[in-house]
Structure 1
Amino acid sequence: MLQYRIQPVTPYQQNCSVIWCDQTGSAAVIDPGGDIASITGLLDRLDIHVEKIILTHGHLDHVGGTAELKAALEVPVIGPHQGDGFWLSALADQARMMNFAPVPPFNPDRWLNDGDQIALGKLTLEVLHCPGHTPGHVVLFEKHSKMAFVGDVLFAGSIGRTDFPRGDHASLIASIREKLFPLGDDITFVPGHGPTSTFGEERRTNPFVSDSRFG
């Protein structure tokens, strides 16, 4: 089964997730936005072997520590979808805009597409391309553990912003209601910020995407 720990990083308190297969110890780090010492400290406390870094989208608070962590762990970077390539190429501009220290540029070793699968020990992460917050945003879903890592697509009681360049509100709503909610009400998701929730809870109560709003 999939196990995970959440390590909030950066002044934006972005949820960096460490996930692993409890049968093999094979692990991945999702969205290392910064504060790499806190991430590596968590890794040191866990008896796991990190094989890859996975990115849900290209915003700095989710990818700012990627180059540093890649160098420290000597592992490949996977994702996001190539639609976010323009965000990754603008890391220096993002750092200035968000008042972050400059971060090293990088290129993913592999872009992700809708329907791709990522092996992690005996786990299989399914990739869903969920544009809206950014055009290349992806969500990672592990069906046997009923877990999803959704980045900034969906939050407990809210949804991702779409006022950034190439954001699209209609696409975001479609991603949530047509791709995420059909996975099942009992799916627990880890958002990019804030507490976990379930798709069922958001279908019932989230004022932006609830069934009552769209029924």
Structure 2
Amino acid sequence: MLVLGFPAGPLQANCYLLAAGEGADCVIIDPGQEAAAALDEQVRDNGLNPVAVLLTHGHFDHVFSAGDVCRTYDVPAWIHPDDRYMLTDPAASMGPQGAELFAALPPLTAPAEIRDLADGEALELAGLSLSVTHSPGHTGGSVLFGVGTDEGGRLLLAGDTLFAGAIGRTDLPGGDHPTMLRTLRTRVLPLEDDTVVLPGHGPTTTIGRERASNPFLQDLVPASDEAGR
């Protein structure tokens, strides 16, 4: 499997490309601000053919280039329906400062074709099978994408649900801290320790490392453990 990633834009949101290998179809995850040029370079350098854009959630730093990228490669964008409104009204997700912020930015172009993600579904794209897990808390429509590797490992594209040493903020519209803690307890902590986490910001980590050292996870009991008590 080919896994490429780079931070883009002022907020350094991670954008990823996943493919079975060089010269193959690929999916693009979270093309945010200023991501288009670097994406085009990665696609050309590796002979890739994008077939879909997948969005972990609707915040502008993760979706800002989605419309342009989808048009460039003539592909659909996939997002959870609870965050779909952000593709056409990004300011609504940013609270009172949203209108002022977006007045200073170029207008966001929504993808021409938008498809809904559903909790528990498996997307068969680019020769990969990607699981979709609804993970509300950071936003109402946040999702996790899981995919197996050729070596038998597992990748988790976590968006802004989980970072190395931190979790996503919950103080913006659509965010909710108790819901985030429930997501972490029931959707994240039950995963295997060797699951590699590709977060929406910052460096790669693993579930085991975060279980042992992330202060936001220390007092949470995994749902699987709770069920066994």
**Equivalence for 1:214:** 220
**Equivalence for 2:101:** 97
Alignment-mate amino acid for residue 68 of structure 1: D
Match of 2:123 among 118, 124, 127: 118
Aligned pairs for 1:62-141 within 5 A? 62-79=62-79, 81-91=80-90, 94=98, 96-97=100-101, 99-106=104-111, 108-141=113-146
Bigger shift: residues 129-138 or 30-39: 30-39
**Equivalence for 1:31:** 30
What's the CA shift string for 1:158-198, capped at 9, x where partnerless?
00000001211111112122112212111001100000000
Query: Distance in 2 between the 1:134 and 1:107 partners?
Result: 23
The 1:96–1:106 alpha-carbon spacing in structure 2 relative to 1, beyond 3 Å, is farther
The 1:74–1:162 alpha-carbon spacing in structure 2 relative to 1, beyond 3 Å, is same
Alignment-mate amino acid for residue 81 of structure 2: Q
What's the CA shift string for 1:104-151, capped at 9, x where partnerless?
234652110111111124320000000000000111001344101010
What's the CA shift string for 1:70-101, capped at 9, x where partnerless?
1111111112x111123223126657426432
How far the C-alpha of 1:9 sits from its partner, in A, is: 0.7
Query: Distance in 1 between the 2:160 and 2:132 partners?
Result: 15
Query: Distance in 2 between the 1:5 and 1:24 partners?
Result: 13
**Equivalence for 1:6:** 5
Query: Distance in 2 between the 1:56 and 1:108 partners?
Result: 17
Contact 2:2 2:22 in 1 (8 A): no
Unaligned segments of structure 2, at least 5 residues = 93-97, 222-229
What's the CA shift string for 1:38-73, capped at 9, x where partnerless?
111111111222111111110000000011111111
Alignment-mate amino acid for residue 19 of structure 2: W
Unaligned segments of structure 1, at least 5 residues = none
Contact 2:58 2:83 in 1 (8 A): yes
Paired residue secondary structure (1:38): helix
**Equivalence for 2:227:** none
Query: Distance in 2 between the 1:106 and 1:91 partners?
Result: 13
Larger radius of gyration: 2
**Equivalence for 2:226:** none
Question: Percent of counterpart pairs with the same letter?
Answer: 35
Query: Distance in 1 between the 2:183 and 2:124 partners?
Result: 23
The 1:34–1:134 alpha-carbon spacing in structure 2 relative to 1, beyond 3 Å, is same
Paired residue secondary structure (1:214): coil
RMSD, aligned α-carbons: 1.9
Alignment-mate amino acid for residue 101 of structure 1: P
Paired residue secondary structure (2:37): helix
Bigger shift: residues 112-121 or 21-30: 21-30
Contact 2:22 2:46 in 1 (8 A): no
Tell me the TM-score normalized by structure 2.
0.86
Paired residue secondary structure (2:187): helix
Contact 1:92 1:102 in 2 (8 A): no
Equivalent pairs counted in the alignment come to 211
Tell me the TM-score normalized by structure 1.
0.91
